[in-house]
Amino acid sequence: QVQLQESGPGLVKPSGTLSLTCAVSGGSISSTNWWSWVRQPPGKGLEWIGEIYHSGSTNYNPSLKSRVTISVDKSKNQFSLKLTSVTAADTAVYYCARVLSAGALNFDYWGQGTLVTVSS
Amino acid sequence: DIQMTQSPSSLSASVGDRVTITCRASQSISSYLNWYQQKPGKAPKLLIYAAFSLQSGVPSRFSGSGSGTDFTLTISSLQPEDFATYYCQQSYSTLPYTFGQGTKLEIK
């Protein structure tokens, strides 16, 4: 059973950098899966941020691409998200998820999510 | 971006009811459509992938159909644990994957 666990600061100052890590257990990050970040502002819907493969290949949401970096650490079986120049609009629950290719690419395993608030 | 529009945005129903939620894509996405259930304070849970395939462990009262631009999620007989918010998501185009705005299913 694959498990994902997000970690990182719950409070980030405006114009600062949001940094989160997703630890993967019960499976290898070097498997044939991509690994994604998805966020959800309070009371709103889901927004895909980007994804990474264990080789380091990435895809990003064009709406966030200039501010996002996703990286992978195979030795620690984890991947990370950095979002720069944050504003209050970046306040959200951030989820990490595994991308499974099964007919349609889907998110089959999710972390429990971590709330990041952007405030001074 | 491919826009996903769900209807209705909210729905009131009773235990035992048959419920249908619709998702429409702004362009054809073949069968690259998934459905998720989200309960308050929890991560989304995959229910249906590739338009009609039931994820392992998901009760058979959930079913999906459609292709191209129009899709439906049907719950054949609502159970108390089914009251939640449901999202569709397309993966026809990676840049970016997009979700519908959600349908909140409430108890009547």
In three-state secondary structure terms, B24 is: strand
Using beta carbons and an 8 Å cutoff, which residues of A are at the interface with B?
A: 36, 45-48, 51, 59-63, 95, 97, 100, 102-108, 110-113
**Is residue B29 a contact partner of residue B68, using CB atoms and an 8 Å limit?**
yes
Calpha distance B93→A31 (Å, rounded): 22
Per-residue confidence (pLDDT) for residue A67, from 0 to 100:
98
Cα dihedral sign for A46, A109, A52, B30? negative
Strand locations in chain A (E):
3-7, 11-12, 18-25, 34-40, 47-52, 58-60, 68-73, 78-83, 92-102, 104-110, 114-118
> Which residues of chain A neighbour B84 with C-beta distances below 8 Å?
none
How close, in Å, is residue A14 to chain B by CA atoms? Answer: 25
Give pLDDT tens digits for B62-107. 999 999 999 999 999 999 999 999 999 999 976 899 999 999 999 8
Residue of B86, B90, B81, B105 lying closest to B24 (CA atoms):
B90
Q: Which residues of chain A are under the pLDDT cut of 50?
A: none
Calpha distance A35→A56 (Å, rounded): 11
> Which residues of chain A neighbour B100 with C-beta distances below 8 Å?
45
Q: φ, ψ for residue A63 (rounded to 5)?
A: -70, -20
- Cβ distance B43 to A95 less than 8 Å, yes or no, reads yes
Which of B10, B56, B97, B99 should one mutate to test binding to chain A, selecting the residue with the greatest count of A CBs within 10 A?
Answer: B97
- Cβ distance A108 to B46 less than 8 Å, yes or no, reads yes
Give pLDDT tens digits for B21-41. 999 999 999 999 999 999 999
Per-residue confidence (pLDDT) for residue B108, from 0 to 100:
87
Per-residue confidence (pLDDT) for residue B94, from 0 to 100:
65
Strand partners, B61: none
Q: If 0-12 CB within 10 Å is exposed, 13-18 middle and 19+ buried, where does residue B10 land? A: exposed
Residues 6+ apart with CB under 8 A from B29: B2, B68, B69, B90, B92, B93
Calpha distance A79→A98 (Å, rounded): 11
